Structure 1
């Protein structure tokens, strides 16, 4: 292996190490244990104390001191009624309880599809405690692709589904990534969303889905580069394709690919289907 190839593999291995650390945070995506819609009347929920409700605009929680709930932000005990309001797609790590430090479980308040829901995040979940990394394909230099990027004049909002059939989503496409794959004679065009600092994220299907990989994955690129002629390009490194949280938990609301973001090829690079604890 030459020096350049060795450096590429080493960078990928650092990426994989950081990815595993990010997944294994105490109340991260590996700790979700429920997703529950709030009702209009105060009622108990599974896996968390207190009475929960919403009037559609505000979420309300009523609990007594003996329930052991405290606010995540301040640690202040919940003894009585508290409220919170979110915009659609926002989330709030709201209250916590349990364990020796009173912080084993965090209850996340979320607004999805203009409805309030809660998700419990339990740091004792075996999905987290037995996590040993995500299986991946071996590094494949042939799937580091130089792609053209064709930006739209303005972002285009495209309705999409999500991992939760009761939650619709929107993909804000800022342009298309255009490329060819080795050994295939036709061109691909995939919609991209813009992330922080101009990076792009492409959510896609391919023919490994449902076999060696989850139902869909995503891959991010650095900010597009523009040459002297004004043409933009990105490096599309499928070795950095990762799973959405919904691959690890049934309680995600992760976006599906835009219609047409499907590759009639096996992308044998990046993350495989996770091996989850029973």
Structure 2
């Protein structure tokens, strides 16, 4: 019987603590309470005062409100009394205005540009999903799910069209290469297309046979920058859910078509709300 090195368990536990703390931040993913597209003409929306719209070309978003609506700009605290506007590039977001609660910041309204259209998301610090959160359920730590693979970069990045958690929003996966590895219980190699993050780190988004059973519809795993020989470490104990596993208001990217593992990866985060 092998003994798990205490240092590895401690590092994983520290990772889990940091992960749960990050999810539990005020106005984070657990506080989302709506996702609404903006129309060309000013109109009311759910869960927020004011009249919201875009211009005819969809390049600028507008908010019109009276001082009595209680809206203030998040960045400056200035009251919204009249019309304010904002311009975002695709995939950008802005924590734009806030209102409610004793300090006037219980609800933050996020402006987002998704698929060439403006939308808003309300983030309410009184959401029961947020106030009742006590951590994400996970599989127990298992050192057997930490494996070494290799990264095979493409000559140039390839943009692959993908779906997202919102059926009305299309996404793009910028594949920079493939991570090749083996897993316990499987006799063949796996290949997952990877995206590049800051400083050369990688992310792989994947399906596996636990999806829809003990885990959500898909998960992702962060990898450190490949070593000089191309080797990479995949620790599936650190596989995590996308925000869309916690809220129906996410627009999180799905895995590319071939990023599916035909085994049960019983490691990492489970479904946040098991039935």
TM-score bracket for this pair, using the shorter chain length: over 0.9
Question: What is residue 143 of structure 2 aligned with on the other side?
Answer: 141
- Classify the secondary structure of the residue corresponding to 2:204: strand
- Classify the secondary structure of the residue corresponding to 2:188: coil
Partners in 2 of 1:183 and 1:216 — Cα distance?
A: 20
Question: What is residue 44 of structure 2 aligned with on the other side?
Answer: 44
Structure 1: 4+ residue segments shifted above 4 A: 1-4
Question: What is residue 208 of structure 1 aligned with on the other side?
Answer: 210
C-alpha deviations, 1:218-257, integer Å up to 9, x for none?
0001110013xxxx01100000000000000000000000
Structure 1, unpaired ranges of 5+? none
Question: What is residue 252 of structure 2 aligned with on the other side?
Answer: 254
- Classify the secondary structure of the residue corresponding to 1:18: helix
Structure 1 position 6, deviation (Å): 1.1
Partners in 2 of 1:211 and 1:5 — Cα distance?
A: 30
Structure 1 position 196, deviation (Å): 1.0
Cα distance, 1:16–1:246 mapped onto 2, change above 3 Å: same
C-alpha deviations, 1:73-103, integer Å up to 9, x for none?
0000000000000000000000000000000
Question: What is residue 74 of structure 2 aligned with on the other side?
Answer: 72
Structure 1 residues 143-182: aligned runs within 5 Å: 143-182=145-184
Question: What is residue 238 of structure 2 aligned with on the other side?
Answer: 240
TM-score by length of 2: 0.97
Partners in 2 of 1:111 and 1:255 — Cα distance?
A: 15
TM-score by length of 1: 0.96
* 2:19 maps to 1:5: no
Structure 2, unpaired ranges of 5+? none
* Number of aligned positions between the proteins: 273
* 2:119 maps to 1:117: yes
Structure 1 position 3, deviation (Å): 8.1
